[in-house]
Amino acid sequence: MTTYAIGDIQGCFDSLRQLLDMIRFDPARDRLWLVGDLVNRGPHSLETLRFVKGLGQAALTVLGNHDLHLLMLAEGCSKKRGDDTLDDILAAPDRDELLAWLRRQPLMHVADGFALVHAGLLPQWSVGQARVLAREVEAALQRDDYRECLANMWGSEPPSWRDDLAGWPRMRVIVNAMTRMRFCSADGTMEFRSKGEATGAPEGYMPWFAVPGRKSAGHVLVTGHWSALGLRIEPNLLALDSGCLWGRHLTAVSLPEREVFQVDCAKEDVD
């Protein structure tokens, strides 16, 4: 059995199928770890969502910011954006089943020295603490009153963690760090405006994974979200968003071997 971690798909279903053909993925034998953002902006979000759901235990995905946007949009908790490509999902006959499945996916997954999360972890969080915090959000999304959670999870304040945070501000910091963060300061204050390369950090900020002494450094963090960063492989980081949506590549990395597989983004996915 081989486990493959795969970067942001974002509805680029044809590229995903090409990549799975390349690695000769067998759902009876192999496993997929997906870094989130299954949907949006690419042309085939519905097909992607149905396919990953249909893989059952052969695929594990964490939630990304675009996945959460879909859930919020479906419940009237977010406004449609000009570059959204989610109408097919929202109009699908199996919409409710797909959204219920997506809402029950984890925010973070930890196994065998790896930690799978869409964006990153704040420097003061150990992997163990972060997993406990992720479960708080997961539980809120799976309760009967999950709509209240979706209505209150978005927003950039507060920008940093405190152990005494409670209620919706606490949840927003957890969600923002794990699904939106790229840059933060040494004390873990997040900055959300900058989306460029790691070398373009605003003054006083740095890539979240470069903060000295971050407490999650004992695990290999497997992430996506940051297409401008590109594929980045370090001893304790596998950053896998290699910009398929923007006409670059879709990437898979075998775990723990770290063999890299890439396909050029399919023409159908960027037209």
Reduced to 3 states, what is the DSSP secondary structure of residue 154?
coil
Range of the domain at 78: 3-270
- Whether the per-residue pLDDT at 263 is higher than 80: the answer is yes
Give tens-digit pLDDT for 53-98: 999 999 999 999 999 999 999 999 988 998 999 999 999 999 999 9
Q: What whole-number distance in Å separates Cα of residue 34 and Cα of residue 190?
A: 24
- Identify whether the C-beta of residue 230 lies closer than 8 Å to the C-beta of residue 196: no
Contact 230, 243 (CB under 8 A): yes
First to last CA, the chain: 35
DSSP state of 116: E
- 169 upstream amide cis, omega within 30 of 0: no
For residue 102, what pLDDT is reported?
A: 98
**What's the rounded Cα separation, in Å, for the pair 179 and 3?**
22
Q: Each residue of 233-255: pLDDT tens digit?
A: 999 999 999 999 899 999 999 99
Say if residue 127's pLDDT is above 90: yes
Section 132-160 average pLDDT: 96
Banded model confidence at residue 268, pLDDT cuts 50, 70, 90: confident
Task: Give pTM, 2 decimals.
Answer: 0.96
Residue 140, domain CATH: 3.60.21.10
Contact 175, 153 (CB under 8 A): yes
Is a pLDDT exceeding 70 seen at residue 271? no
Please give the Cα distance from 75 to 175 (Å, whole number): 18
CA-CA distance, 33 to 208, in Å (whole number)?
22
Question: pLDDT band at residue 270, thresholds of 50, 70 and 90?
Answer: confident
Angle among Cα 106, 110, 116 to the nearest 5 degrees reads 65
pLDDT at residue 266 greater than cutoff 90 = no
Domains: count for the chain: 1
Is residue 195 over pLDDT 80? yes
Percent of the chain with pLDDT over 90: 94
Residues 6-37 have pLDDT tens digits of: 999 999 999 999 999 999 999 999 999 999 99
Residue 109 is predicted with a pLDDT of 98
The two structure tokens encoding residue 218 = 């004992």
For range 150-173, the mean pLDDT: 96
Note the pLDDT tens digit of each residue in 213-223.
999 999 999 99
